[in-house]
Structure 1
């Protein structure tokens, strides 16, 4: 193989390697002529990236058409820079000198997130031929002078310091100089305006230190600082390096956002509207101040957050301004045009940094627009300051200040010229009273004609007093007639003015309209002694009138007043069934009916709830008073029409005939009427009872009864009796129902109907129920040990509403069951239908927990309440007790048909049935035939003691004939 063949093979191999490293296509040269001042080279630039400190690229074809390859090394060995390449062609016959310009910062396309904040772009430029371009000094761009020989085609390879090259222009030196000079002039004008504006607002802040002035001044200084950085003036002052202004630019944008936020907050005085705005401001400012520190570490991140903050503040600020302007806030209304222009500037800036606006004039226009926005903000602040007289502090005299205070108070000036006897009032008084202008001006006698007759003497006396005594003050509230004939309350406060001769020459003061205050006072006084529903006198006013009637009876023995107290029967049930609104309508109807029956000397009041009291002074004969009470009873029986239904009312009425010689007090008379009224209710209601002294012995003192009951529970004096429940299949004892009895030391044995309500109202029912539950459980254990049966003997204990609705019921039941080892399910809690339906959701939860503890559940008096089958399936009852009204035979000797249905339904639900009210053997046999498992009644025995019950369970039960 020859030497030439080897050389050819090596050359071919190197060409293949280089082709793999560099692009295959050659650069297209850009034609440069003398008649073009500037050429944008950005579209002709090709970017290259290498893995080392050198690059080889193909040149543009030379004049001879040959494409060559050049290799360029980086300025620093071992570096890995980015590269660009472009080619220029001089198609003229003259040598051309041009300026290659790559700006450090360009707002167009800089970006919103991690923006490009500028830096030196080109480190060095290497031509394919000729001399290396010379770098010229410039603070805001990389500038190189390039010389192109006639007819030459030169490829330039530039080493980049950054990955981005925002723009690359080829300028004619003279044209570029003219552009720099014009921009410098423009920048100088803009900077001068911004500086003067900042200085002016600072002086305004010194003169008037309101919050809006320092905020506006700070915003102006922030804009001035940003312009100094953007225009390159800061480089000349601080000698900043080419890449150092990135930190300053990011910090300036963060400070601009912070000052704009402070201005909006201070100008609109947002802390006046809500304190939360202060918290938002504080958090926002802390974040922006942190951005200033972040700019030193990571300038692009800080600038990106600051730009987002400016856009957010412009949008949110406009919404706040429009919202406050809608409520008539003057400051917000004045700021709308300026802030709208600011928002437009932000939109334009956003379109610029995202690359949607690319014109070279956009960036200078935005800087000028920013100064214009700040200028308008300054004008807005000054306009508000001049409109509010902010630049006239300390120039107001004391007299002017008092006049302004009087105008601000809204009071009316009242001036009485005493020697001339002429009164002058402000025109506002004529408008207030709806009279012609000048009606109130004139002598004092004209005023006295308009003053209410009841206030006239008092008003005249007050004026005469200050004139005679030559000192003091007038402070009077009086009524004066308005143009429509109604009276308004005015309050006059005036002082006399004494002349040099010691006589009163004027009496000057102010008048205020106090009609609303007087009306409110009268309303409060009325409401204090009247019922707010019916408008009738309440208990306090009624007792006062009753005391007055009794005093009158003591002075005039022939006057025998009567006290009538009535209570609507079953009102609580009516109210529960028809609702509170209809219940109130019923009370209003009763009040109107009673009011129509009264004569002028009589009085009616709503004592409390559904109780009404009447004082009858027009009748003295007991027979007439009784007839009047009967009229009341019949009147109340008239049905009340509500919607499409009629409600029939009855009342229990108590009457007290008062003898003036008895010396009875109002409280005692009312108590006697209550005794008579409760006596009528006790006998079925819808009746009239005249009080007799013997009734007092029939009414046990409720407080004393409560105290006796409390002692009886503490001393364990409450007895528990047990009524048998028989299994009808074999007539053996299946269980017992626990019943409480109380042998009162004075009143004898009391029925549960007499003391259970007292126990429920006083809260003693909880202790009483727990005591009965504990005694029954211990006794049940004894019975179960005595007789073993399957199922075991059970015991039922009644539960009241106060016990069921207590959260401690589960805890109490758990304690009772843990102390006594009864068979599961043998201790049954009896609960009535109506009690469960008071709160079905809560009752269902409680009953499930009771069942889970091992106690049985029996629904008592089934059929007398709601009898809701839907709820019956939800409640975990295992036994139903049928009320005796369904067990007893009707007038034809047959039992109610529904009895068979109830028993069948209970069996379908898996429940046992206990029938109450079995009185004979025939009852027991028929109940067993119907499928009833258990029965309870006097046929099997009356309530008995625990010992009697123990003897009874040993053998079969003998039924009564």
Structure 2
């Protein structure tokens, strides 16, 4: 018989399918070796098997196992499939009956065990064993239990049986072999104990709830909520919850996690309500409300993953216990009675938290630990309930009895602390007590006498008004006195007092007395005067601010137009050059000192009728009225610039500053204040564009230049949007073999009309207009895309990297992390090769925030490089907390100088960077000698004009393709 080629292929295909099926069956069953049998002595009540069994956590649908050697020494093999055919975890153990009698034992695997359940992602309990298959003899029989998987195992005399248990989960907290009667006695004993604990907890919760109805204070519902939360937690922990509501197995993790979340939340509610924290500080309320909302949000998390919610709740409970104890101690130190009474109970709670932490971490392991912690929790709530009742039902005589309206008014006057002022008109005597005389350091009795004696201590400007007010009350026989005046103290200073009084009319209709209160309002008046001063003055320098400056300029313009006196106001604006860089390098406090020093220098050079103001930041304004001639005004501006140019000594260093000045002369006519200020600002901007350290007088021809900045901003926005901005790459060279290790990404802009624009011109515009984030993301996208191309096309021994600079606005932008994550996901570059460069002064401006952001960026796979190291003011204790992997040395340390300390500082920086585990990149290498010195000091990388300037991506690619083969493999 002949077969066709088609028949042969069909037969081969069937044979291939059969072979594959057999292989799948073989490899789907995990094979394990024979195990040692565990003897079961007849006189042992309970035998611990947890550490003696073989646990196979990897889920497989069937398990092949070699049995323990029998009495005949033969090792057999059995294969056990899972009950439903799905993949399961397994455990294998062997038991040996060494006696000559049949042995019955209960194999118990508890659903939940607090010991070793872990703090994070805790094990919250579930059914452990699905079924048990013996190698011989009778199959184990499952017995009903709400707390554990219980199987009755029968061992024949002298039998050695291997058991294969199919598991529901890869974890097996405990596996123990019990004598049936001993296990039942133990369960009965625990059940009695649990019943007592639950009874006490239930009665306590019910009692506190009833007390809330009787005594309607807020601390009782808070305490009752804590008691009910404890009761719910114990019901779930003792297994009473499932029995009460007849719940199915499998929901225990959700119930347990929810109970722990509610217990933690009730602690916050109780602490906030009992200590009445809302009366101490509003931040307590914000913190408590935020914490409560976050914790209650964990109930939703518990539905998704109970283990995550329970872990957060356990950690939060520990934090609340510690912070609550600190708060209680602080308030107790301030003499707060409620806090003092709560110290013993909260101390016991801390001890309970420590014991619970030791239990869940496995440090404290014992069968009675879990029920003991439940009883301790009830004891804590009981003590807290006694504390609450002791405080709530305590009260003084005033709280127990009624007081009359007159007594209430007297108590109110005493509580207000006002001074009594009583004028007996018939005897013409004023009584004020001794409080006023003590405040003024006057001898006793000075203010107790005729009303005319008060005129001697009254301020001269208040005497006539005081006398007229008293006369008016007597003449009108009615009305009231509300007057504020000043009294002189013994040292000559005056204090402000407010008098509020009403006349008392006798039977004949005449005023016989005038009674009221006297209140010291010196602090209020001082605060009002300070507020009025601060409203129009700069807080740092004490100079007039922009509002007062504009008001005085407006007044000067009005007077000039009205009087035609020939005096014309001139506006001079002065702006410090490079002050931001100086401020970033030496710190904000030093920058404030510089601003104050400059203000004092400028103030010494102006006339009395002139006004010097601080308009904004490092911008000063001057209204000149003392000089009329333009030449004299220009000379004054030049003197002001020279004063600024003088060095400012700060500590052991001298700081040199320059300033730019813009001058606007008043031309009269319809020119208003706004035009004058705009002209001065245009002239100032022109002086700054010309390089600074100069002065410019406004001329009409300068006016269009101000519009150029707006046009330039619009053009820059358009260039970013249409991707017309140039992206250049400056090589970073590996000093060991002078091969290209990476590039720094730099922005270049060739304007269609103005030609090449320097980054020093358009970067500040991007900073001021808010375009810096779009510009930074543009450079990051381009750099990452180009890096991905290079890594894909240029196979190097170590992956190439690129560095992209970040600005302060980008670091503070909350979308930075998501933006970087999106760039990395789209570009698929090697981890750590897309490096983000941040200056030392930038990260130190807000170190705590910077640490969090940088750690998130590092976790995304971005490299981090600290730029311009050595020019800032960082603290090494902070620097070692930042997750930087690269340190870039500022070029000021690289350039040769006559200073002998330069080499020492450079060597120290390199050694410190290596000790912190960072790679070192030196900037500004411009000669072969500098490159050799850096290599000898241990610096790995360098960049500078010696190794090449910034080039386009095509030229950079050509450079990479020319690399030797041992450095790059195309």
Q: Which has the larger radius of gyration?
A: 1
Q: TM-score range by the shorter chain?
A: 0.3 to 0.5
TM-score of the superposition, structure 1-length normalised? 0.47
